[in-house]
Amino acid sequence: MTHDRAALDALLTEKRRFAPPPEFAAAAVVSDPAVYERAEDFEAFWAGWAEELDWFRKWDTVLEWNPPHARWFDGGKLNVCHNCIDRHLDGPRRDRPALLWEGEPGDRRTFTYAELAQQVGRFANVLRDLGVKKGDRVAIYLPMIPEAAFAMLACARIGAPHSVVFGGFSPDSLADRINDADARVLITADGGHRRGTIVPLKANADRAVARCPGIEHVVVVARGGLDPVDMVAGRDHWYHDLADGVDGDCPAEVMDAEDILYILYTSGTTGKPKGVVHTTGGYLTQVHATTKTVFDLKDDDIYWCTADVGWVTGHSYIVYGPLAAGATVVMYEGAPDWPDKGRFWKMCQDYGVTVFYTAPTAIRAFMQWGEEWPGGYDLGRLRLLGTVGEPINPEAWMWYHRVIGKESCPIVDTWWQTETGGIMITPLPGITRTRPGSACRAFPGIETTLLNDAGETVDAGYLAITRPWPSMLRTIWGDDQRYRETYWSKWDGVYFPGDGAKIDEDGYLWILGRVDDVLNVAGHRIGTMEVESALVEHPAVAEAAVVGKTHAVKGQAIAAFVTLMGGREGDEALTAELKAHVASAIGPIARPEAILFAADLPKTRSGKIMRRLLGDIAAGRALGDTTTLADPAVVQSLKDRYEAKEG
Ligand code: WT7
């Protein structure tokens, strides 16, 4: 878990309360607390939200629940892209900006809903011309440029499930995801801007595609100015060449509510990331409902979510939710500290951002950078702040409230996961009295509880979700057995998210962090086994065990304990080499912060590595129970050496 004991105790004695400002409450999308009781009939509640969307054919049943498989709005027909764009074209939204984009070098592009329709329609026709049909998978490996949103929406328009891969992932990670989803087409760019340099996406893509026999076409968006790049004749095409003269009108495919919208890979407790499958009708219903109510979106809002479209937050709360709600969305390509640490606040000022959604790790970085950066800009249009991705410590919450929100913006701490598709636990900003560090309570229509291993209700234990919800994952791509085992085998018919939590006497939830072998580094999920497999691929490494260690900005950082082949001695050079090796095998986000070479790792008598004890060492805690160890001396000597090295 992310919190140590002292931090946890402090959390649970948190007594500060923040009521919504009266003007905010009076005008809020949700201002009546009775919404929770009314949503007790959760099928009727969600059906009410589904009614707000355009359906080509209405559903026959709201929910069919054969645990662990749900079908929402079965028999209904709709298209997600139509709902995000076409639905807005007949009214005043038509000529309002859908997307306000800024590149890291400062270049800008703006698209109204009418212009977005043309861009997406053209992209969809390009894909159709390449032979992409309903049901074909398309991989997307792009920087944060408008074409990332166009490509996703174009796929949705023609019914081709997309699989977006974060641009910071390595060629190997990209190849694994392409092959698992069996994608036919890859959409990438020559490069993207990041902290003043160009990330060479096409070169990475080439290394990946060399391992992907199923890829027939690579579509390359010109962004990084890297022309000439290597283009393989017949396989690789510049997007601007393909799109030249292509019509922007493209009829939207009629999709079943349960057709797949996308696959998105996320880390689990094994070495292999899993393809989370999201479908159409229920997903759109929940992201639409939560976007409108949690972010209190009105037509004149300027909404900015700082996530990358490579993560689920970008899918649900940059693209699908906000556009379905007809919002004006700010999108930014680059780093928050480029050209200086005021970049985000300059953008908030320049675009008049009213709703701002970011991660606790970013907030902790802003705290370290100092108040003078936000202090240098006018943030007066901000009216609502959000966080997501990891537990937020009360200190960071208070800083966000005071320095960014000027004590007048409600903060929504939203708990959810790639698998849940949409927000599950959150304040409603017009009615909830928030508490720093608490995600407060389940969204209307969602039911959560805390359980122990025996399935008994407790006030500190595992978070559990006791009812199906519309944007839930439907399966793991190609591995329904893993879907059942990972999420539905702990208790009967109850979903296990993998988080620990505590509930206070007023029913507020305090999420404590993962209880499995998944780390949360700077809001990104990384499986310990993934990093271990990358380490043991290195010829010098015999065995590796990876644990999380508390990090002031990232929440958690990666600590690796490594034994070497043939009694080799570890040194500084090898440490650097192994860190670089992991970064290039998975991506820079997985780079270990600390590596400790050991003659032996603590194991049980049956040979299982005791990660829990290594976690104690990395956290500087007293060692837990060591009685099951084959050789208790191993762990004490490791602890001594770790402390000597890391302080
Ligand atoms: C894990 C899911 C949801 C989009 C970003 C992460 C942690 C997420 C919170 C929060 C405490 C949180 C959980 C969860 N998490 N939001 N508000 N408070 N923890 O998506 O990569 O699928 O990770 O992130 O541990 O299980 P993800």
User: Which of 185, 122, 199, 135 lies closest to 161 in space, CA to CA?
Assistant: 135
Region 42-46: mean pLDDT is 98
466-482 tens-digit pLDDT = 999 999 999 999 999 99
Nearest-CA residue for ligand 1 atom 2 is 417
More confident residue, 606 or 105: 105
Q: Spell out the residues 6+ positions from residue 462 whose beta carbon is closer than 8 angstroms to its own.
A: 450, 451, 452, 453, 490, 496, 499, 500, 501, 515
Is a pLDDT exceeding 70 seen at residue 6? no
Region 215-236: mean pLDDT is 94
Residue 614 exposure: Cα atoms within 13 Å on the Cβ side: 26
Tell me if 315 CB under 6 Å of ligand 1.
no
CB atoms within 10 A of CB 560: 26
Whole-number Å distance, alpha carbon 339 to ligand 1 midpoint, is 29
Q: Residue 122 and residue 150: Cα distance in Å, rounded?
A: 9
Which ligand 1 atom is nearest residue 387's CA? 17
Specify the range with the lowest mean pLDDT, choosing from 7-21, 256-270, 483-497: 7-21
Pocket test for ligand 1, best of 3, 312, 411, 417 (most atoms within 8 A of CB): 417
Domains of the chain: 20-438+469-492 (3.40.50.12780), 518-646 (3.30.300.30)
Whole-number Å distance, alpha carbon 389 to ligand 1 midpoint, is 4
230-253 tens-digit pLDDT = 999 999 999 999 999 999 999 999
333-357 tens-digit pLDDT = 999 999 999 999 999 999 999 999 9
490, with CB counted inside 10 A (0-12, 13-18, 19+), is: middle
User: Which of 172, 191, 174 lies closest to 183 in space, CA to CA?
Assistant: 174
Region 61-80: mean pLDDT is 98
Whole-number Å distance, alpha carbon 631 to ligand 1 midpoint, is 37
265-312 tens-digit pLDDT = 999 888 789 999 999 999 999 999 999 999 999 999 999 999 999 999
Q: Spell out the residues 6+ positions from residue 436 whose beta carbon is closer than 8 angstroms to its own.
A: 14, 16, 18, 392, 394, 397, 398, 401
Nearest-CA residue for ligand 1 atom 19 is 390
Tell me if 391 CB under 6 Å of ligand 1.
yes
- Is the backbone of residue 234 left (phi > 0), alpha (psi -120 to 50) or beta? left
Nearest-CA residue for ligand 1 atom 20 is 417
Residue 5: predicted pLDDT: 59
Tell me if 266 CB under 6 Å of ligand 1.
yes
Whole-number Å distance, alpha carbon 313 to ligand 1 midpoint, is 10
Q: Spell out the residues 6+ positions from residue 119 whose beta carbon is closer than 8 angstroms to its own.
A: 111, 146, 150, 248
Which residues sit opposite 544 in a β-bridge? 562
Residue 594: predicted pLDDT: 95
Whole-number Å distance, alpha carbon 423 to ligand 1 midpoint, is 10
Contact call for residues 266 and 258 (beta carbons, < 8 A) = no
616-627 tens-digit pLDDT = 898 888 888 888
| Tokens standing for residue 43 | 């099928």
Q: Residue 62 and residue 546: Cα distance in Å, rounded?
A: 44
Is a pLDDT exceeding 70 seen at residue 12? no
Residue 643: predicted pLDDT: 87
Nearest-CA residue for ligand 1 atom 5 is 389
Highest mean pLDDT among 14-18, 139-143, 614-618: 139-143
Rg of the chain taking only CA atoms, in angstroms? 24
Whole-number Å distance, alpha carbon 6 to ligand 1 midpoint, is 22
Q: Residue 443 and residue 114: Cα distance in Å, rounded?
A: 33
Q: pLDDT-derived band of residue 2, with 50, 70 and 90 as boundaries? A: very low
3-state per-residue secondary structure call for 175-193: HHHHHHHCCCEEEEECCEE
Nearest-CA residue for ligand 1 atom 8 is 389
| Tokens standing for residue 90 | 């007949």
344, with CB counted inside 10 A (0-12, 13-18, 19+), is: buried
> Whole-angstrom distance between the N-terminal and C-terminal Cα of the chain?
21
Is a pLDDT exceeding 70 seen at residue 515? yes
Residue 1: predicted pLDDT: 43
Tell me if 413 CB under 6 Å of ligand 1.
yes
| Tokens standing for residue 624 | 């837990």
Is a pLDDT exceeding 70 seen at residue 372? yes
Tell me if 180 CB under 6 Å of ligand 1.
no
Q: Classify the C-alpha dihedral 487-491-496-498 as positive or negative.
A: negative
Tell me if 515 CB under 6 Å of ligand 1.
no
User: Which of 314, 584, 433, 504 lies closest to 33 in space, CA to CA?
Assistant: 433
Q: Are strands 185-189 and 217-221 parallel, antiparallel or unpaired?
A: parallel
Give percent of the chain with pLDDT exceeding 70: 98
Region 112-130: mean pLDDT is 98
Q: Are strands 260-266 and 274-279 parallel, antiparallel or unpaired?
A: antiparallel
Q: Residue 232 and residue 5: Cα distance in Å, rounded?
A: 56
389-427 tens-digit pLDDT = 999 999 999 999 999 999 999 999 999 999 999 999 999
Residue 3: predicted pLDDT: 52
Q: Residue 593 and residue 574: Cα distance in Å, rounded?
A: 14
Whole-number Å distance, alpha carbon 479 to ligand 1 midpoint, is 23
Region 543-568: mean pLDDT is 93
Tell me if 389 CB under 6 Å of ligand 1.
yes
Q: Classify the C-alpha dihedral 591-304-239-196 as positive or negative.
A: negative
Q: Classify the C-alpha dihedral 626-603-501-400 as positive or negative.
A: positive
- Could you tell me what percentage of the chain is helix, strand and coil, using 3-state DSSP and rounding each to the nearest 5? 35, 25, 40
Whole-number Å distance, alpha carbon 523 to ligand 1 midpoint, is 7
Q: Are strands 355-358 and 384-388 parallel, antiparallel or unpaired?
A: parallel
Contact call for residues 167 and 158 (beta carbons, < 8 A) = no
Tell me if 322 CB under 6 Å of ligand 1.
no
Residue 4: predicted pLDDT: 58
- Calculate the average pLDDT of the chain: 95
Region 589-617: mean pLDDT is 90
Residue 606: predicted pLDDT: 85
Is a pLDDT exceeding 90 seen at residue 142? yes
φ, ψ (nearest 5 deg) of residue 345? -75, -30
What length is written for the chain? 647
Whole-number Å distance, alpha carbon 441 to ligand 1 midpoint, is 15
Distance of CA 550 to the CA centre of its chain: 21
Contact call for residues 70 and 285 (beta carbons, < 8 A) = no
434, with CB counted inside 10 A (0-12, 13-18, 19+), is: buried
Q: Residue 496 and residue 485: Cα distance in Å, rounded?
A: 10
Residue 531: predicted pLDDT: 96
174-198 tens-digit pLDDT = 999 999 999 999 999 999 999 999 9
Whole-number Å distance, alpha carbon 388 to ligand 1 midpoint, is 6
More confident residue, 59 or 631: 59
Residue 611: predicted pLDDT: 86
Q: Classify the C-alpha dihedral 240-246-248-251 as positive or negative.
A: negative
Q: At what angle do helices 281-294 and 42-50 cross, to 10 degrees?
A: 90
Whole-number Å distance, alpha carbon 484 to ligand 1 midpoint, is 20
More confident residue, 603 or 558: 558
Which ligand 1 atom is nearest residue 423's CA? 3
Tell me if 279 CB under 6 Å of ligand 1.
no
Whole-number Å distance, alpha carbon 393 to ligand 1 midpoint, is 14
Q: What is the pTM of this model?
A: 0.95
Q: Label residues 492-511 b or e (16+ Cβ within 10 Å = b).
A: eebbbbbbbbbbeeeebbbb
